[in-house]
């Protein structure tokens, strides 16, 4: 496959922005060369600035600009109300759904609806991917901690066990979603219990940086989610992605400069030479510690 | 109420059996299980010896094969499953779809328990695992409060096991890549978290420093007790404040909640700590055995004597215990 065949996707917004900021953001996105857009809340069920109807309205707007829409579901379900919402999304969504928990896989399989398997589903091998394919998975997002070499092996193994291999999407830009907890670290930073968090994560539209005592970025707090300290950036590796057979390149929303990031990746897929974000990492893709950054010039 | 106890070595297994464990769980000596630490776990001969000892005392033996294989390593996972079946293990504790599928297909009589690494926090997810692999039990991740656990128990198609005592993983098990972000090795891929090979201790003018793959995890002043640099337990800077941004070293202890766990229908309680010493296993299992026996003998008059708490407190990490996520304010 050639890099120009790569599709650019905008992942679900992992942060908590106001309703107005969210609408404004996606209006800008409508003008960018992104091919598909994931909408919906995937991190915390207490973030209720937008209702399902609002997401559908945003989806219609983007659809009118030629974007393909996918609705994403919550990653960690703990209350009955979370399940209720997921059931509603699975039943009512006008678009395909990204399942971020096995609960959604179960519901969608029962409804006989095809789905995208999200990055938190722990698909580490081709047998598992084939199993998901039989349950209705048409596209999968590889777990962020896996490498180029793992991907090659997974796709090869999947071909032996499945009639069709789902399309592959790779998380390629943004702070990496690395962990989920029962605890809200943002509320905890403000010395508040989660039940009375007062939506403090709204104060941090791109997360709350965690630095080592030597001031180097280590992680980023985003409510119950912990992210990488610096963004992952595979913009210099698109040739690699295309060669292995990746179809979709996921860019993760940031409050500022998102159209520029999309334009940079669009240029890269058209064959232009681009430079990764100055402070970024690419270790996972190269089979190393995720935080590492290996310059393209040093890769043999 | 079944008491499920850890063993990372044959002496620990013996201690657990002797102290009255209903079941002991072990792992093989490689990356097929989530406690893949140097010097820990069971080779073929030790596993057989463990099985013989457990069987002769009427104790069940579970085998944990609960990491996620990648294609290049599959033969190790397959061999581990075959080995567990050949041992006649009483259950296989697994998380990965492919491991569950292989075991269910090849050994339909080998009971499957969904590992905590499977990260199933709700009954719809459990229905998937039940439908596809016929799991009989699931271990719940330590992310739910007691009311939520009760809700899962009320609708779950399988028996539930919960963590009762031990080190507290702050993150949802099976959904944490922090360790591979810093070191390239994670619980899911290698059965390792903050692996020792990446740890470095250094005396400096600013204090004793602990590093993981060169990232400063904590710095201790004279008189401060230094702990293993598990990355989620370090002191970091957030908005200029230095504190345990994720978690302070502490242990989970739910011994006071035993009646409540029984009432909501929990079928088994699990002690964490395959990486801990035989002495730890002996003491913790001893106390929990007494607690369960006392509770079952007289359900309406269950009390937790101070001496139990003192024994458990002494072996706890950070020497303090919490109810963890079962209690809302912790979250």
Instruction: Give the three-state DSSP class for B3.
Output: strand
Q: Is a pLDDT exceeding 90 seen at residue B149?
A: yes
User: Which carries the bigger pLDDT value, residue B142 or residue A215?
Assistant: A215
- Residue A62 tokens read as 């983007």
Nearest residue of A to residue B216, measured between CA atoms: A212
> Could you read off the pLDDT of B1-22 as tens digits, one per residue?
999 999 999 999 999 999 999 9
> Could you read off the pLDDT of A210-219 as tens digits, one per residue?
999 999 999 9
Q: What is the CATH number of the domain that holds A73?
A: 3.20.20.70
CA distance A33 to chain B (A): 31
The residue of A43, A75, A171, A179 whose CB has the most chain B CBs within 10 angstroms, and thus the best one to mutate to test that interface, is A179
- Find chain B residues with C-beta within 8 A of A228's C-beta: 181
The mean per-residue pLDDT over the stretch A201-228 comes to 98
Q: Is B201 on the interface with A (CB under 8 A)?
A: no
Q: Does A125 contact B215 at a Cβ distance shorter than 8 Å?
A: no
- Find chain A residues with C-beta within 8 A of B115's C-beta: none
Give the domain range for residue A38.
3-175+231-276
- Find chain B residues with C-beta within 8 A of A119's C-beta: none
When pLDDT is cut at 50, 70 and 90, the band that residue B320 belongs to is low
> Could you read off the pLDDT of A133-161 as tens digits, one per residue?
999 999 999 999 999 999 999 999 999 99
Q: Is a pLDDT exceeding 90 seen at residue A261?
A: yes
Q: Is A284 on the interface with B (CB under 8 A)?
A: yes
Instruction: Give the three-state DSSP class for B188.
Output: helix
The residue of B75, B101, B117, B124 whose CB has the most chain A CBs within 10 angstroms, and thus the best one to mutate to test that interface, is B124
State the pLDDT at residue B322: 61
The mean per-residue pLDDT over the stretch B200-215 comes to 96
State the pLDDT at residue A128: 98
Q: Tell whether ipTM is more than 0.90.
A: yes
In chain A, residues 18-57 whose CB comes closer than 8 Å to chain B:
none
State the pLDDT at residue A289: 98
Q: Are A1 and A242 in contact (CB under 8 A)?
A: yes
Q: Is a pLDDT exceeding 80 seen at residue B103?
A: yes
Lowest-confidence segment of A11-20, A54-63, B310-319 by average pLDDT: B310-319
DSSP labels, chain A: --GGGPEEEEPPP-S---HHHHHHHHHHHTTS---EEEES--S-TT--SS-HHHHHHHHHHHHHTT-EEEEE--S---SHHHHHHHHHHHHH-SSEEEE-SHHHHHHHHHHT--EEE-TTS---SHHHHHHHHHHTEEEEE--TT--HHHHHHHHHHHHHH-SSPPEEEEEEEES-EEEEESS-HHHHHTT--GGG-TTGGGG-TT-EEEE-TTS-EEEEEETTEEEESS-EE-GGGHHHHHHHT--EEEE---SSSHHHHHHHHHHHHTT------SS-B-TGGGTS-TT----GGG--
Could you give the residue range(s) of every CATH 3.20.20.70 domain in chain B? 2-168+250-330
Mean pLDDT of chain B: 94
Q: Are B11 and B40 in contact (CB under 8 A)?
A: no
Q: How many CB pairs under 8 A join A and B?
A: 215
Q: Is B323 on the interface with A (CB under 8 A)?
A: no
> Could you read off the pLDDT of B158-177 as tens digits, one per residue?
999 999 999 878 899 999 99
Q: Is B44 on the interface with A (CB under 8 A)?
A: no
Sequence-distant (6+) residues with CB within 8 A of B324 are B142, B168, B252, B254, B330
Q: Does A145 contact B177 at a Cβ distance shorter than 8 Å?
A: yes
Q: Does A83 contact B329 at a Cβ distance shorter than 8 Å?
A: no
The mean per-residue pLDDT over the stretch A18-27 comes to 98
- Find chain A residues with C-beta within 8 A of B101's C-beta: 127-128, 131
Q: Does A78 contact B148 at a Cβ distance shorter than 8 Å?
A: yes
Q: Is a pLDDT exceeding 60 seen at residue B319?
A: no
Find the CB nearest B171 among A179, A213, A216: A179
Q: Is A211 on the interface with B (CB under 8 A)?
A: yes
Q: Is A83 on the interface with B (CB under 8 A)?
A: yes
State the pLDDT at residue B148: 92
Q: Does B71 contact A101 at a Cβ distance shorter than 8 Å?
A: no
> Could you read off the pLDDT of B52-99 as tens digits, one per residue?
999 999 999 999 999 999 999 999 999 999 999 999 999 999 999 999
- Whose tokens are 């719809």? That residue is B124
Q: How many domains does chain A have?
A: 1
Q: Is a pLDDT exceeding 70 seen at residue B323?
A: no
Nearest residue of B to residue A134, measured between CA atoms: B132
State the pLDDT at residue B122: 97
Q: Is B183 on the interface with A (CB under 8 A)?
A: yes
When pLDDT is cut at 50, 70 and 90, the band that residue B225 belongs to is confident
Q: Is a pLDDT exceeding 60 seen at residue B192?
A: yes
Distances (CA, A) of A59 to A36, A93, A289: 10, 11, 36
Task: Give percent above pLDDT 70 in chain A.
Answer: 100
Q: How far apart are CA B218 and CA B198, in angstroms?
A: 14
The class that CATH gives domain B2-168+250-330 is alpha beta
When pLDDT is cut at 50, 70 and 90, the band that residue A300 belongs to is low
The mean per-residue pLDDT over the stretch B246-270 comes to 89
């Amino acid at each position: 496959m050639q890099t120009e065949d790569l599709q650019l996707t905008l992942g679900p917004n992992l942060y908590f922005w106001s309703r107005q900021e969210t609408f404004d953001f996606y209006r800008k996105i409508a003008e960018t060369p992104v091919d598909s857009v994931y909408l919906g809340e995937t991190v915390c069920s207490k973030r209720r600035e937008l209702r399902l109807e609002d997401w559908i309205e945003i989806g219609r707007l983007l659809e009118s600009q030629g974007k393909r829409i996918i609705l994403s579901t919550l990653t960690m379900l703990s209350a009955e109300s979370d399940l209720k919402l997921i059931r509603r999304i699975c039943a009512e969504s006008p678009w395909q759904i990204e399942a971020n928990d096995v609960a959604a896989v179960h519901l969608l399989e029962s409804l006989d609806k095809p789905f995208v398997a999200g990055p938190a589903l722990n698909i580490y091998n081709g047998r598992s991917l084939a199993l998901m394919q039989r349950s209705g998975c048409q596209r999968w997002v590889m777990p962020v901690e896996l490498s180029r070499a793992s991907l090659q092996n997974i796709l090869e193994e999947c071909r032996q066990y499945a009639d069709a291999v789902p399309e592959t999407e790779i998380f390629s830009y943004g702070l990496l979603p690395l962990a989920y907890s029962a605890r809200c670290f943002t509320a905890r930073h403000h010395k508040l219990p989660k039940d009375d968090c007062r939506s403090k994560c709204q104060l941090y539209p791109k997360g709350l940086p965690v630095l080592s005592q030597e001031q180097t970025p280590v992680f980023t707090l985003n409510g119950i989610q912990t992210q990488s300290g610096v963004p992952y950036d595979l913009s210099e590796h698109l040739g690699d992605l295309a060669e292995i057979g990746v179809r979709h390149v996921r860019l993760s929303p940031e409050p500022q400069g998102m159209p520029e990031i999309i334009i940079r990746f669009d240029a890269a897929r058209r064959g232009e030479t681009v430079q990764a974000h100055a402070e970024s990492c690419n270790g996972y893709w190269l089979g190393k510690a995720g935080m590492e950054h290996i310059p393209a010039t040093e890769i043999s | 109420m079944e008491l499920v106890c850890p063993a990372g070595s044959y002496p620990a297994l013996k201690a657990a059996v002797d102290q009255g464990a209903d079941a002991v769980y072990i792992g093989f000596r490689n990356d097929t299980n989530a406690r893949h630490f140097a010097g820990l776990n069971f080779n073929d001969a030790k596993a057989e010896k463990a099985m013989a000892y457990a069987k002769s005392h009427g104790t069940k033996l579970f085998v944990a094969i609960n990491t996620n294989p990648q294609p290049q390593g599959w033969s190790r996972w397959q061999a581990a499953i075959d080995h567990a079946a050949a041992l006649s293990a009483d259950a296989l504790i697994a998380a990965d779809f492919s491991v569950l599928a292989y075991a269910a297909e090849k050994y339909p009589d080998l009971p499957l328990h969904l590992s905590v690494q499977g990260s199933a926090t709700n009954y719809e997810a459990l229905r998937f695992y039940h439908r596809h692999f016929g799991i009989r039990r699931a271990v719940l991740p330590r992310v739910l409060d007691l009311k939520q656990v009760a809700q899962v128990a009320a609708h779950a198609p399988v028996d539930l096991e919960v963590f009762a005592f031990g080190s507290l993983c702050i993150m949802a098990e099976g959904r944490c890549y922090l360790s591979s972000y810093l070191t390239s090795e994670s619980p899911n891929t290698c059965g390792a978290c903050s692996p020792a090979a990446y740890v470095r201790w250094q005396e400096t003018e600013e204090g004793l420093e602990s590093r993981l793959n060169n990232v400063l995890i904590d710095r201790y002043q004279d008189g401060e007790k230094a702990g293993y640099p598990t990355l989620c337990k370090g002191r970091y800077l957030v908005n200029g404040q230095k504190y345990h941004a994720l978690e302070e070293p502490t242990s989970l202890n739910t011994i006071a909640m035993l009646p409540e766990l029984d009432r909501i229908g929990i079928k088994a309680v699990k002690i964490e700590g395959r990486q801990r010493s035989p002495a730890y296993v002996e003491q913790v299992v001893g106390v929990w055995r007494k607690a369960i026996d006392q509770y079952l003998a007289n359900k309406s008059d269950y009390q937790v004597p101070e001496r139990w708490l003192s024994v458990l407190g002494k072996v706890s990490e950070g020497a303090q215990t919490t109810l963890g996520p079962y209690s809302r304010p912790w979250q």
